[in-house]
Amino acid sequence: MDHLTAKYLKKLVSQKICESNAPLFGVLDDRLYWSSEKSEIPVLEPVIKNSGASSILFSPPAEPYRSVIDYLCEYSSREGVIKPDDTETRTFLHDIPVVEEFTPERISDGLKRRKGIIIPGKGILTQGSMSPEQAFVIYSSICFSTFVKFMTDFYYHSKGLIKMNGDPEPVAVKAVRWYSETLSSAVTLPEARGPFSSGEDAIQAMAEAGSLTVSSGMVDSFFGNISVRIENTIYISQTGSSLDELAGCIDPCPMDNSTTNAITASSEFPAHRALYSTSNRKTILHGHPKFSVTMSMLCDDISCVNRGRCHIKCSKARHIKGIPVVPGEIGSGPYSLSKTMPAAMTGRGVIIWGHGLFTAGEEDFTDAYKNLLHIEKNCFNTYLDLTGC
DSSP characters over 32-49: EEESS--TTHHHHHHHHH
Pick from 187, 202, 204: nearest CA to 363: 202
Spans of all domains in the chain = 3-167, 199-387
Per DSSP, the three-state class of 292 is helix
Domains 3-167 and 199-387 share a fold: yes
CATH number of 3-167: 3.40.225.10
The pLDDT of residue 77: 76
The pLDDT of residue 1: 58
In the chain (389 residues long), the average pLDDT of successive 10-residue segments reads: 88 96 94 95 96 95 98 87 88 90 96 95 95 94 96 96 94 98 93 95 97 93 90 94 93 88 86 95 97 95 80 84 92 84 95 96 97 98 96
Residue 24 parent element (H or E): strand 24-28
The pLDDT of residue 35: 95
CATH number of 199-387: 3.40.225.10
Task: Say how far apart CA 200 and CA 385 lie, in whole Å.
Answer: 44
Tell me the whole-structure pTM to 2 decimals: 0.95
Q: What are phi and psi of 318, to 5 degrees?
A: -125, 145
Asked whether the beta carbons of 61 and 46 are under 8 A apart, the reply is no
The pLDDT of residue 221: 67
